[in-house]
């Protein structure tokens, strides 16, 4: 009887681990498949994953435990609009810069992990660039600064 209980507990643990893996696998696979863009903000280089489809924008940086200092994610929207971001299932504190069609920063919002607060563009934006929390401020980047290297048109993903 005791052996049976131990075996059932091990099976339960294994099933929990499998479910966790299945939940995280799509996000990890999507991250590995996203195209990269080399962006710059003045003298600062950014290696950004490009989220250009509805699906990749919806996943964003969810479930990632860390991000390298010069890495980020560029969201390319299909139209200029007052886009909003939130942090459900996002483990990292992030700063998001909303950008116009020319790559100029409209506004920058600070976002805390695992929250559902909306962080929105102050006026219609075409892009959003997420970086580690405080990245823009640490480099003196403010509204009006330009991010260059943004791919023209939405790359397939």
Structure confidence by residue, pLDDT tens digits, 6-58:
445 556 565 454 444 444 444 444 445 899 999 999 999 999 999 999 999 99
Whether the model pTM is above 0.85: no
pLDDT at 153: 62
**What is the predicted pLDDT for the residue at 152?**
82
* Inter-residue contact 90 to 113 (CB < 8 Å): yes
**CB-count exposure of residue 156 (10 Å: 0-12, 13-18, 19+):** exposed
Q: Is 146 left (phi over 0), alpha (psi -120 to 50) or beta?
A: beta
Of 146, 151, 155, 153, nearest to 40 by C-alpha is 146
- Name the helix (H) or strand (E) containing 27: helix 2-33
pLDDT at residue 49, rounded to an integer: 98
The per-residue pLDDT for 2 is 59
pLDDT of residue 16: 52
Mode of pairing for the β-strands spanning 44-51 and 71-81: parallel
Contact 99, 126 (CB under 8 A): yes
Task: Please compute, for residue 37, the number of CA atoms within 13 A of its CA located in the half-sphere on the CB side.
Answer: 25
More confident residue, 72 or 26: 72
- Residue recorded with tokens 């483990």: 91
């Amino acid at each position: 009887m005791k052996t049976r209980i131990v075996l059932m507990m091990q099976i339960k643990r294994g099933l929990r681990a499998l479910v966790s893996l299945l939940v995280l696998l799509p996000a990890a696979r999507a991250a590995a498949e996203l195209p990269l863009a080399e962006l710059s903000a003045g003298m600062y280089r950014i290696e950004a994953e490009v989220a250009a489809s509805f699906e990749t924008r919806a996943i964003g940086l969810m479930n990632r435990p860390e991000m390298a200092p010069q890495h980020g994610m560029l969201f390319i929207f299909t139209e200029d609009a007052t886009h909003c971001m939130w942090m459900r299932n996002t483990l990292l504190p992030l700063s998001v810069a909303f950008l116009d069609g020319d790559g100029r920063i409209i506004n920058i919002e600070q976002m805390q992990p695992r929250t559902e607060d909306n962080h929105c563009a102050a006026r219609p934006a075409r892009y959003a660039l997420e970086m580690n929390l405080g990245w823009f401020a640490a480099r003196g980047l403010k509204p009006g600064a330009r991010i260059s290297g943004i791919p023209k048109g939405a790359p397939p993903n």
